[in-house]
Amino acid sequence: MSVTETANTRLRDLRVNAERWTRKAVHNPTAFLVEIAVATLSLVLFSAVFGDVGGLALERAGFGDVAYVTYLLPAVLMQATMGSAFSSGMGLVRDLETGMFEKTVVTPMSATAVFAGKAAAELAQIVVQLLVVVGLAVAIGANIETGVIGVLGILAICLLVGLLFMAVSNVVGLLARDEEVINAATMLFMFPLLFLSPAFIPLSDDIELVATFNPITYGVEAVRALVLGEDVLTVVSVSWFGGVADTVVPAVGILLVLNGIVGAIAIRLLARASSASVA
């Protein structure tokens, strides 16, 4: 088979699998809609309940001219992204339980295309959810200084975070093969990581060291830099690029490295599970 034919076959396999997972989401949209509802409630409730306290914290940190709903937007986007990303592992566990995983890996389709198609469908769902949240945030007063280009950058950063936690959830799913464990892992990862980062209020000295090793810190601050149109990175000092790029470039670099590490682990475990199923 020629290189062109091989590439076309893999693209076809990727498309087939993306369509399969998209149809599953359309036929059972409960999780998709719940994530949108949770993100919407989080944005409205957090901005209403913590608005005054958050405003004081922002003023002390030098963000006195920033509305709390604007500062809060990156946190809610990260929450929505993580929640949706962890559902990836649940889908894999269901395939393992029903025998669909074994049926898929014994087909002539490329294993890479099988799992890339699944990821593409899940990332597309995350994009729709994020656009809904961004639209709502703007409607209730949030301001994105970098405009449409900034929104595209925000989506790209959120997808990097989504890929990272999709890999984490698939690793957990392959090791535990239990949806309840993934649900527990979602809570275990999501809220501690969000609260031990500058997601909801500026960092305090007490948690700055912990936040430095927290991947959500880099996702939140990269998104916030695009929302506010300025350098906001606090845990790492970079002044090589200027302005927003001093936050976005190092944050994206760190997220790419983490994706490479965790993604490699997930692929290795998936390959091992595929081999065991074929055997």
Question: 10 Å Cβ neighbour count for 259?
Answer: 20
Q: Are 219 and 248 in contact (CB under 8 A)?
A: no
Burial of 94 (0-12, 13-18, 19+ CB in 10 A): middle
Question: 10 Å Cβ neighbour count for 76?
Answer: 28
Q: b vs e for 170-187, b when ≥16 Cβ sit within 10 Å of the residue's Cβ?
A: bbbbbeeeebebbeebbe
* Cα–Cα–Cα angle for 96, 102, 107, rounded to 5 degrees: 145
- Six-digit token string for 156: 């790209």
| Amino acid type, 168 | V
Give the Cα separation of 112 and 13 in Å (integer): 9
| Amino acid type, 84 | S
Give the Cα separation of 112 and 104 in Å (integer): 12
Q: In sequence order, which residues have a C-beta less than 8 Å from that of residue 53 and are 6 or more positions away?
A: 201
Instruction: Output the pLDDT for position 1.
Output: 47
Q: In sequence order, which residues have a C-beta less than 8 Å from that of residue 130 and are 6 or more positions away?
A: 77, 80, 81, 154, 155, 158
Instruction: Output the pLDDT for position 218.
Output: 94
Instruction: Output the pLDDT for position 231.
Output: 87
Which residue stretches of the chain have pLDDT < 70? 1-10, 51, 101-112, 274-279
pLDDT digit string, tens, across residues 41-100: 888 888 877 767 777 878 887 777 888 889 999 999 999 999 888 887 777 777 777 777
Q: Classify residue 243 as left (phi > 0), alpha (psi -120 to 50) or beta.
A: left
Question: 10 Å Cβ neighbour count for 200?
Answer: 20
Tell me the residue length of the chain: 279
Phi, psi of 46 (to 5 degrees): -65, -40
Name the H helices within the chain.
3-27, 30-49, 51-60, 68-98, 100-105, 111-139, 147-176, 179-195, 208-212, 215-228, 245-278
Phi, psi of 65 (to 5 degrees): -95, 10
Give the Cα separation of 158 and 250 in Å (integer): 15
Instruction: Output the pLDDT for position 225.
Output: 94
